Structure 1
């Protein structure tokens, strides 16, 4: 019953993360709406450059919840990290195979809820006790 109002609110919020004059895609609005309002499992399949990352960032900013993003490659993780860093309020980390050695305090910070976004690969998901 409040769908139109929800869509308008989410669209306005997404505009804040886009360059001036750009409009969010309808799919971005719908994904964020489903996540923010708890409307069920949601999958977004889209090509590179579509703007999938903005949906994850918007969710974290709008709800205060942490986004956990599982990515296939460390290189892709670095690209995602750079893309998300542009968003105001983002505090993120990339967990790689080397993380335990290069930043031993990272996992403690993750447990404390320091980060808004945590990016990691499938191998790290199964091998880490966060």
Structure 2
């Protein structure tokens, strides 16, 4: 039973990833630099705002020259008290190095996405990480 539940959970987590991978052609995860961004939209139930954000973020992810992993997701219904499901979208990107991530910050694909959508969000939190021992 536990194996069935775990398999179902893994498949449900991969589903959105695979769907986006078909659009962008990437599932490669480079562990050298992980960049995870959480967005809280001002009006998370506004369909026009969500469409604008999703269109822009997908365009950005298709155009970035530096990100290896390109994943956008939404918060699932929280199943435990330790799960924070308050965000509207999560973005997971990975890079081959901190230098590549720094270049990404200034690239037009990224800056255009921020300019197009910054009026939609009330809060953004970024978590960057590198492997242990570096």
Q: How high is the TM-score relative to the length of structure 2?
A: 0.29
Greater relative contact order (CA < 8 Å, ≥ 6 in sequence) = 2
Q: How high is the TM-score relative to the length of structure 1?
A: 0.29
User: Per residue, is there more helix in 1 or in 2?
Assistant: 1
User: Per residue, is there more strand in 1 or in 2?
Assistant: 2
